[in-house]
Amino acid sequence: MKKLFIKTYGCQMNVYDSARMAELLAPIGFCPSDTLDDADMVILNTCHIREKAAEKIYSELGRLRQQKEKRKLTIAVAGCVAQAEGAEIIARAPQVDIVVGPQSYHRLPEMIARIARSGGQALETEFPALEKFDALPNDASPGGVSAFLTVQEGCDKFCSFCVVPYTRGPEYSRTVAQIEAEAVRLVARGAKELTLLGQNVNAYRGEGPDGKTWSLADLLGRLANIDGLARLRYMTSHPRDMSDDLIAAHRDLAQLMPFLHLPAQSGSDSVLRAMNRGHSVAEYRRTIDRIRAARPDIALSSDFIVGFPGESDADFAATLALVRDVGFAQAYSFKYSRRPGTPAAAARKQIPDGVKEARLQELQTALGEQRAAFDTNSVGRVLEVLFEKAGRRAGQAIGRSPYLQAVHVENAAAHIGAIGRVHIDAVFPNSLKGRLVAEHEKAMRH
């Protein structure tokens, strides 16, 4: 067997794609390795969202060239940088053998065979999403206790800051039958929780078994019937697609976890307009109210961008006000970074980095306090924890609460793969600490 090392950057969709690439290459003799040292092939599964993403990949490729000078090594660049840069990668980094976009990676085996046969380099950056899902193997490898399942790809929304519509292509939803079959396989291999993935997952419109178009809520309702599947989650959602039936699913589906990642980006209407988000701040707030009415304990998460071109002090204050009023259990925040080819990159009123940095610090402090408050609220409560893996200490297990908080528990290794009732004792910056309820009760009796 040859050894394959995949380095994954960016979002969960890339994590999913990396797992599928590994499965795809297993039948042609590649087994996964978690180090580059003895790898015969390396795939950089790249992300294009962050500042200087492409430059970082070129530096990584420089380091790989040194390895390749010493031994035989096939180098592939996959993901969104591969899509965006395309042939430029082969021109700038001739040590690269394969460049493959996120919608074409099902062609990897054929590309590997082609370069083995006739040498040279191979490049595929088309968008045949339909073909990709049909071509992927059916025998999904163990995805673990909590597995990802891509149900939707691409984006038609064209927010003015974002590269995704260009790198991932147009919106496309897999059929319900295809998703259900993959879900059943993942559950048979030990998954207790599935997170349905999509760049705009709540814009899901897939063909149902009745030939009609099904929504994400319809799909979740169907998957909830799978025996042995305890938990369902989905991400990432767009506020414009938070439909009534999806909100009702948060009330009605026991398996659907009380957690929602709903990026707001900004709390200012003029910034939202310039971002082409397609909704106002009042509409975002109303959506949150509707969700909380359906599921009062829901934990909310969001993405924010500070320093978008033209963002004034008052616009930023409006973002802080939105954060204060909504109360997020967790959130991600970023300084705006210019992505070449997107409309906002050409805007004249770019914000100086010092201002962006100061706003980011202020926002992250506010979000950090909210997160700490949310987590502190869990202390003394009993939460159901799905144990996913062993912790660093012997006997320790790490899992997730319904609200997606990481929880670590001593003497719980035997529970990995199962849901345990955990009494939460303490809060750490990125996790909670608890005891299995039986142990907690024993301690209380003494």
Q: Distance between CA atoms of 39 and 245, rounded to whole angstroms?
A: 48
Q: Which position has the token pair 């309820």?
A: 437
Where do runs of H (alpha helix) occur along 295-436?
313-326, 353-378
Q: Verify binding: residue 157, ligand SF4, rule CB under 6 A.
A: yes
Q: Distance between CA atoms of 168 and 154, rounded to whole angstroms?
A: 5
Q: Verify binding: residue 16, ligand SAM, rule CB under 6 A.
A: no
- Nearer of residues 164 and 235 to ligand SF4, judged by Cβ: 164
Buried b (16+ CB within 10 A) or exposed e, 214-232: bbbbbbbbbbbebeebbbb
Q: Which does 428 bind (CB under 5 to 8 A by kind): ligand SF4, ligand SAM, none?
A: none
Q: Which of 76, 100, 159, 232 binds ligand SF4 (CB under 6 A)?
A: 159
Q: Verify binding: residue 259, ligand SAM, rule CB under 6 A.
A: no
Single-letter amino acid code for the residue at 392: R
Structure tokens at 313: 């002090």
Q: Verify binding: residue 261, ligand SF4, rule CB under 6 A.
A: no
> What is the phi/psi pair of residue 137, to 5°?
-65, 155
Largest CA distance in the chain: 74
Q: Verify binding: residue 272, ligand SF4, rule CB under 6 A.
A: no
- Nearer of residues 155 and 298 to ligand SF4, judged by Cβ: 155
| Site map 219..258 versus ligand SAM, x via CB under 6 A | -----------------x-x--------------------
What is the 8-class DSSP label of residue 239?
A: G
Q: Verify binding: residue 162, ligand SF4, rule CB under 6 A.
A: yes
Site for ligand SAM in 143-162 (CB under 6 A): 161-162
Sheet with 146-150, side-by-side order of all strands: 146-150, 193-197, 231-235
Q: Which does 165 bind (CB under 5 to 8 A by kind): ligand SAM, ligand SF4, none?
A: ligand SF4
Single-letter amino acid code for the residue at 170: P
Q: Which does 305 bind (CB under 5 to 8 A by kind): ligand SAM, ligand SF4, none?
A: ligand SAM
Q: Which does 221 bind (CB under 5 to 8 A by kind): ligand SAM, ligand SF4, none?
A: none
Q: Which position has the token pair 């009062």?
A: 296
DSSP characters over 87-119? HHHHHH-TT--EEE-TTTGGGHHHHHHHHHHH-
Size of the site for ligand SF4 (CB under 6 A): 10
Chain residues that interact with ligand SAM, rule: CB under 6 A: 11, 49, 161-162, 164, 199-200, 236, 238, 263, 265, 303, 305, 334, 336-337, 339
Chain residues that interact with ligand SF4, rule: CB under 6 A: 155, 157-159, 162, 164-165, 199-200, 238
